[in-house]
Amino acid sequence: MVRYKTEADDREQRVLAEISLNTPVNRKKRKSTATVSVILSVIYAAFSAWLFARGVKANGFLLLGFALVFLLIALFSKKFQLFIVLRLMKKRNKALAGKTVEYAIDGDGVEITSSLGTGKNNWSAFNRCGEQDGYIYLVRLDNNVVLIDKSRLSPEELKELESLLGNVRK
């Protein structure tokens, strides 16, 4: 059994947000948004050039502005999405701010104890696991995440945890 206690801090919140942004669904949404934004940017820029050639400058500048906005959306969609996710997480996690959460991980699953209560998640409740920025994470079917800092585990605990993670279906 591996026991791990933590307090959610800003670094962990950022890692959780990165994990959320790197899901296949979010990557696909960002890719399609960027593609559509680039296409619209090119169309608006071309139409703007056509309007400038015809002498309609006011509408040309308006469309050029839209082209620039869509280009910025395509370039910075991940940063914008990260900003939104971090803001939502801060609002949502006020109940756990500064509170200790304890995980007990064994062959049956993960037991989570916090000031809100205690619950046991069997391994079938998790659909994936992985590593990100020095953390091991487990993602439940409802997209909640168990986050464990690898540097705070002993080598024996880390080895045991890695063997237990084999219970998570891939």
Ordered domains of the chain (ranges, CATH): 2-9+96-167 (2.30.29), 15-94 (no CATH)
**Would you say the C-alpha torsion 68, 74, 75, 79 has a positive or negative sign?**
positive
For residue 110, what pLDDT is reported? 93
Strand pairing of 145-149 and 135-140?
antiparallel
Is the separation of the CB atoms in 101 and 7 below 8 Å?
yes
Neighbours of 139 (CB within 10 A): 20
Helix residue ranges per DSSP H, the chain: 10-21, 24-54, 57-92, 155-164
Q: Please state, in angstroms and rounded to a whole number, the distance separating the CA atoms of residues 159 and 11.
A: 24
- pTM for the predicted model, two decimal places: 0.71
SS3 call for 40: helix
For residue 71, what pLDDT is reported? 95
For residue 84, what pLDDT is reported? 86
For residue 14, what pLDDT is reported? 84
For residue 168, what pLDDT is reported? 82
For residue 157, is it left (φ>0), alpha (ψ between -120 and 50) or beta?
alpha
Neighbours of 87 (CB within 10 A): 11
For residue 50, what pLDDT is reported? 94
Per-residue confidence in pLDDT tens, the chain, 170 aa:
888 888 877 788 888 888 888 888 888 999 999 999 999 999 999 999 999 999 888 899 999 999 999 999 999 988 988 888 888 877 766 655 567 889 999 989 999 998 888 999 999 999 888 898 899 999 888 888 888 999 999 999 999 998 898 888 65
For residue 169, what pLDDT is reported? 64
